[in-house]
A and B are shown apart, each in its own frame.
Chain A
């Protein structure tokens, strides 16, 4: 089910086709952003059927892709109701017809139509079951809420089949269920009542080791976990269900299968680690240590240019998981037991630098993890200094969109620990870099720069002297003319406390 490789064939379009495709894609991206801002970011997946490798919706130029009329749909339904040997063929025809959104609406509004499908799904004919399942899957993908709701009729059967023998059929049912989850709260309530969480768990136990099934389960689970009502209703169930250990195990990727399953598991873990509920379950299952060692491995892969396309889809949720779990661990000992490899620092630096030109937000999140590592920990601050990470951070300081703010926070965390730390920061060349960030447009960046500068020069006369010699005072003097009082006050305080090398009387 790992998709990324298959999609590029769409981009085989040449010339204007490619431009159109890009434009369309940009529009869709914009729509997704808006959806997220409206808290309506929802997606459904389509499982490709082997016999339809050119079946991308909207592109079909197959002869059979003539939209059936309303009458033809009714005829299909009657044919199915009649039973007999032609059922499987008819079902296949129905499935093709249902690719058209209008036909979907027509079909579900016909009397008894869904009952017929469900009876085929639960019937004794195996082939028919599969075809009926495919019909449902197509319907589950519909953007019409009405259509999704009618599929709910089939859910008890879909859930039962999760424990079935056929991995492929199970996969199909899982994606269907996964597509239904985001419909609305009622659907989710029903599915929860029907036992979807234990069913998912049993499914994994049954099909252990099958990565396609794992990917499908984790996808369905991620759809549940992403929901607005997940916090109260779903997450507590998941944490006690035993699914967590499977998710952890699923983080390892298989070179043959690819990272599809790992991606889904990681996103589930991200949603779980964001929740307010007690994080100890996750930590006890090794989430922190797992995530951090994976980060090191992935960091190495990226650093050596061995990373595959789409690796960021895995790195992203892992970073978030790490960042939030670090933030929620109260004691240093807890952290220290699980996160103890300094190479994690290198990995974070690698992500921040490597993704600057493609996904700067990912770089910012890597730096966020660094902030959380260093905030309360003298040990990790010492590690940052000792590992040569500071020059890397300095290289990142020109970049906006939150990157420089996060770098400054991290440097602030280190400086905050005391004189010894400040001295080493200064040795690594932080002062000239601060003189530059003090001149930036972003008020938050300037404020943080002043804060870090204050920490440094207050720590020892050497540092203060060094700053004066760098002509830093003139930079601060400009601040005195800033219209923001908060900036002026900080700047003037710092200036007041700097040494005065031989004043010639005033």
Chain B
């Protein structure tokens, strides 16, 4: 069947072969449009310290696109036409430049590894970033942060001790400072380690679910993830060839020799995280470069997986 040979979706053939009377646009059952769009609220919502409304946050609008004749999107077609005009056109086989499948990229700031396919990506994520708290099923991107999470959230002793001692650790790997309250730690993270202003810190364990966002300025992002209400698998799958992975990830990170120059990410996009050269340190306290992970994860995350 020509359908199978061409790899075309059967729906297309079916539609093409339909009776023209039935395919007239007037014959289409028109769905009811919403009178008021539900997704655009000007009602302001407080997302921690940032007051926002979905209308300004989500900027997509359905719109037509006009392309001028010199637009770069028209390049391939124009080149093809001129090849033909200049008698350079040949049969299709020689001309072929097949479409590429998009690459996948690990979203964890500071990691940003690229993968050819979804499986490789999923494997990587399971192996390196899925540190799951067995109590509340939250997923933390590193073992260290999981440790801190468990300590601060599920250890009753911690609460008692915290009243008398400075127990709240700075989330930045290698910074050994401790604070007596979450607020102080938060201030420290913002002032000293340049965490972004929109970084959302703990909220009290009340009804509203709160999300704390990553501070992505440094490679050693300290963060906590708020509750995952879904059924998070208790253990992360996949084995981790730790040395192998570390070599890989170390290479992909800018493990330069200058202390404090390891800052990547920040406002730059994930693409730049891999290739950016040493940037000016954004924070007073420098992360010693020697803290590179012997085992596994990326810079800023302590290696080794927590067993469940």
Contacts and interface: CB of A to CB of B under 8 A. Distances in A.
Contacts of B307: none
A11 B93 CA distance: 12
B82 interface: yes
Interface string B1-43: 0100111110111111010100111111111111001110000
A439 B118 contact: yes
Interface stretch (B55-63, B155-163, B186-194, B246-254): B55-63
28 contacts: A4-B89, A11-B94, A25-B90, A43-B85, A46-B87, A263-B84, A267-B81, A303-B8, A316-B77, A342-B25, A343-B18, A343-B20, A353-B9, A359-B95, A361-B77, A365-B74, A380-B25, A389-B12, A399-B100, A420-B31, A441-B105, A451-B60, A458-B39, A473-B228, A483-B269, A485-B196, A488-B214, A493-B47
Contacts of A471: 230-231
A418 B99 contact: no
Interface stretch (A104-112, A145-153, A191-199, A318-326): A318-326
Nearest to B8: A353
A420 B32 contact: yes
B211 A310 contact: no
A38 to B, nearest CB: 11
Contacts of B152: none
Contact of B102 (A274, A310, A440): A440
Interface string B217-232: 0000101011111111
B34 to A, nearest CB: 3
B211 A496 contact: yes
B228 to A, nearest CB: 6
B164 interface: no
B29 A386 contact: yes
Interface residues of B, number: 122
B265 interface: yes
Interface in B50-72: 50, 52, 54, 57-70
A274 to B, nearest CB: 4
B90 A11 contact: yes
Interface stretch (A28-36, A94-102, A200-208): A28-36
Contacts of B280: none
Interface residues of A, number: 151
A381 interface: yes
B25 A313 contact: no
B172 interface: no
Contacts of B225: 477, 480
Contact of B37 (A327, A368, A371, A418): A418
B170 to A, nearest CB: 18
Contacts of B106: 478
- State the main secondary structure of chain B at its contact with A: loop
A300 B129 CA distance: 49
A504 interface: yes
Which residue among B95, B129, B211 has the maximum number of chain A CB atoms within 10 Å of its CB?
B211
- Those 8 A-B pairs whose CB atoms lie nearest each other, nearest first: A418-B34, A388-B11, A361-B76, A441-B105, A360-B99, A400-B102, A483-B109, A451-B60
A482 B8 contact: no
A443 interface: yes
A375 B63 contact: yes
Contacts of A477: 139, 225, 228
B99 A399 contact: yes
B88 interface: yes
Nearest to A421: B31
Contacts of B20: 341, 343
B54 A483 contact: no
A64 interface: no
A313 B84 contact: yes
Given A3-B87, A8-B91, A481-B109, A342 B15 contact: yes
A353 B165 CA distance: 65
Contacts of A358: 92, 95-98
